[in-house]
Amino acid sequence: MPDWVIRSEGFGKRYGKRQAVSGISLAVRAGELFGLIGPDGAGKSSLMKAVAGVLKYDSGTLEVFGTDMARDAAAESVKARIGLMPQGLGQNLYGDLSVEENVDFFAKLRLVPDELARERKEKLLGVTRLANFRTRPMKQLSGGMKQKLGLVCTLIHAPELIVLDEPTTGVDPVSRRDFWQILAELVSSQGLSALVSTAYMDEASRFARMALMHEGRVLAQGQPKEILALRAGSVVSCVPHEQVRARAALAANYAQVEALGPRLRVFVPELAREAAEGAVTRLIDAAGGATAYDSGEAELEDVFVALLAGSHTSADAGEASAAPAAAGNAAAPAIEAISLARRFGDFVAVSDVSFTVREGEIFGLLGANGAGKTTAIKMLTGILPPSSGGGRIAGVDIARELGCVKSRIGYMSQAFSLYLDLTVSENIRLYAGLYGLTRAERAARLDWVLEMAGLHALADTLAAELPMGQRQRLALGCALVHRPRVLFLDEPTSGVDPVGRRAFWDVLFRLSRVDGVALLVTTHYMSEAEHCDHLALMFAGRIVADATPGAMKAALEQDMGALYEVSGEKAPAFAPVLAAAGITGVSVHGRNLHVLCRDGARLTALAGGQGGLQVRARALTMEDVFVERVRALEKEAGR
C-alpha cells in the first residue's frame, strides 16, 4: 500500500443552500507536489481548509495521515503535522511586525524550541532570500515577498504536509516563477508533501500530479501527461489572409478556435500534428488561405476546456458576421497617449508614456502590479488628470473636451463594477440612461447586450447570483451599451474560468475585427497577452518595450536563446549537471526541467550523456518574454 498523505472519498461541503463541493475523491502521495487547479468558486479553498482541519464537512470521508478528519479530537492531533497558508497576500501575517518578528511569532505559537527555531529560521530566510529584509515590517514587502514570508512562517514548525491556497494569485509573473522555484526546492530537499491551489492554468506544469476542479467537482486527476491523454489532439496555428472568414470556417468544424493577434489557433481533437495541420489547411484554403503554419501538442488548458465542454454546453456566443475585416493599415489612430505622466507626491506612477492604438486593433498593456498600467488607463479615461502630457481619443483632446471623450469611450474596470443588488436588465438600463440614450435606443441596446452576453433567460436575475463568467460578459455589455469607438479593459478576466475567458476573447475579437472598435487591455495572465495585436510592456511607470508579441519573442530568442524541455525519470537530477556546465536558465516544472539556452546541440549532448532523458524544443511564451525582460530591468535598476 502506497503511503497516502491525503485521501478523500465523496467529500462534500455546502454553505447554506449552496453546494460548494461534492463527490470529491482524490489522493495525495507523500513527497508529492499536488495541484488543485480551477477558477474562483471551483471549491478549492473548501477542500483545502478541510484538509488543514479548520473546516467541517458534510459528506464523504477525508483522511489526512490516515486520521479521520471528521472527528475533532483526531483532527486536532494531526494539525501539528500540517502547515496552512490561507488565500490572500500576507493574510496570515502581521503587517506591523518585521519579517523576523513574524517568523519568531509563528515559531513560538507552534512551540518550537528556541535553538531549533533559530536554525530553521536562518535556513528558510536564506532559501527565500529574505535574510536581507529581516527588520522590514511585513506591510512594506512586495506581494511576492509577502508570499515567501508566508511560506517561511508555514514551514517553521517543520510540517510534513503544507497546504497553500492560491499562493501566486495577485503576484507578478517574475515573483511567481521565483516562488515556484523555491517551493520545488523545498519539497524535494525536505521530503515535504504539498497541496497547492492555483487559478492559473499555465502553472499546471509545475505539479507532479494535479486535479482539475470546476464548480465543486473534480474533472480529471493525475499526472500532466495522463490528463493530456484524456483528450488527445494537436494544436495548429497560422496567419490567415482573411481572419474573420477563416475563423468562421474553422469554428464550424472545431469547438476551440482562438484568435491570437493576426494568428488563429485551433485545437484539433484526436489527430496527430501532421494530419491536423493538413485538415486545417484544407479548411482555410477554402476561406482565403493562410501562411506561417505551425503545429504542436495540446496544452492543459485546451484539454481543460474540452473536458468542460463535455460537461456543459459550449459557450459560443453567436456567430461572427462574414463582413471583411477593417483594412488594418489605413486605420485611423483611436487612442493616442502623448508623454503621459502622473506623480503622487514624490512617487512617479507613470512617466513619459506614449503609444498609439488604431481602430480595430487590440492593444495590450502588460506589467507587474504597480507598474502603472491602471494609472495610465485612468488618465486616458479622464478619471485622473495627468501631471503632464496628454492624450487624444478618436482625435479629441482629453483635457479640453472631457465630456465629449466620455461619451465615446467604454470602460470595464477590474472586478467588473456592476451593481450586484440590481438585476441584469436593471444594470443595462441604468447605463443606457446614464449615457443619455433615447427610449427606443435603450430598448434596442438592452436586447443587443442580452443577446451578446447570452443572458436573455437571466434578465431578471440579480447580478450577484451570476457566475463570474456571465458577470464579466454583463460588465462588457454595460461598457458597450452606448456603442463606444474605444474600449478600455482593466484586467477584464480575473477569476473567470478558461471557457469563460475564451468566450470573452471571442467577443472582443469580433468587436475589433468586425466593428472596428479599438481595444486597450491590461492583463496579468501572460497567456492572454497572446491575443493582442500589439503589446507595450510597462516597468516602474515607463514603457520599456512596444512591439507585436511575435517580434518580442523573436527578440528574446535572439538575446537569450530558445526554450527546451528536458523530461525523463532522472530529469530533476540533471539540474546540477546543467549548473556545473554553466547553463543558468533552468527552472523546475513538476518532473521536467525547462531550459533557456542558446546552444541546443550542447544541451542535447549533455542530456545524452545522462541517458533516459528527452530534450525537445518548446515555443517561448509571453510569460518567458515578460519574466526575462523584467529580470534584466530589475538587475539594471539594482545597480
Question: Contacting another protein (CB under 8 A), which of 434, 579, 581, 605?
Answer: 434
Question: Contacting another protein (CB under 8 A), which of 95, 126, 433, 609?
Answer: 433
Selected range binding another protein among 181-189, 359-367, 428-436, 559-567, rule: CB under 8 A: 428-436
**Minimum distance, C-beta of residue 501 to another protein, in the bound complex (Å):** 20
Is position 403 an interface residue for another protein (rule: CB under 8 A)? yes
Is position 16 an interface residue for another protein (rule: CB under 8 A)? no
**Minimum distance, C-beta of residue 416 to another protein, in the bound complex (Å):** 8
Query: 126 or 433: whose CB is closer to another protein?
Result: 433
Residues 6+ positions from 550 with CB-CB distance below 8 Å? 261
Interaction residues for another protein, span 558-587 (CB under 8 A): none
Using CB under 8 A as the binding criterion, the count of chain residues that bind another protein stands at: 31
**Minimum distance, C-beta of residue 344 to another protein, in the bound complex (Å):** 13
Question: Contacting another protein (CB under 8 A), which of 91, 321, 417, 584?
Answer: 417
Is position 382 an interface residue for another protein (rule: CB under 8 A)? yes
Helix (H) or strand (E) holding 119: helix 114-127
Query: 363 or 574: whose CB is closer to another protein?
Result: 363
Is position 346 an interface residue for another protein (rule: CB under 8 A)? no
Helix (H) or strand (E) holding 149: helix 143-155
Query: 293 or 419: whose CB is closer to another protein?
Result: 419
Is position 399 an interface residue for another protein (rule: CB under 8 A)? no
Please, what is the Cα angle at 120 between 117 and 124, to 5 degrees?
A: 135
Is position 420 an interface residue for another protein (rule: CB under 8 A)? yes
Binding mask 443-462 for another protein (x = CB under 8 A): -------------------x
> CB neighbours (10 Å) of residue 86?
18
Interaction residues for another protein, span 476-535 (CB under 8 A): 478
Interstrand relation of 362-366 and 388-393 (parallel, antiparallel or unpaired): unpaired
Are the beta carbons of 297 and 273 closer than 8 angstroms?
Answer: yes
Is position 384 an interface residue for another protein (rule: CB under 8 A)? yes
Are the beta carbons of 392 and 468 closer than 8 angstroms?
Answer: no
Question: Contacting another protein (CB under 8 A), which of 95, 126, 436, 576?
Answer: 436
Beta pairing partners, 487? 410, 519
Query: 287 or 489: whose CB is closer to another protein?
Result: 489
DSSP secondary structure, 178-244, as one string: HHHHHHHHHHHHHT-EEEEEES-GGGGGG-SEEEEEETTEEEEEE-HHHHHHHT-EEEEEEEESSHH
Report how far residue 346's alpha carbon sits from residue 324's, in angstroms, rounded to the nearest whole number: 49
Are the beta carbons of 617 and 562 closer than 8 angstroms?
Answer: yes
Report how far residue 111's alpha carbon sits from residue 157's, in angstroms, rounded to the nearest whole number: 8
Retrieve residue 530's grid coordinates: 497572446
Beta pairing partners, 84? 163
Query: 14 or 406: whose CB is closer to another protein?
Result: 406
Is position 372 an interface residue for another protein (rule: CB under 8 A)? no
Q: Which residues bind another protein (CB under 8 A)?
A: 378, 381-385, 403, 406-407, 409, 411, 413-415, 417-422, 426, 429-431, 433-436, 438, 462, 478
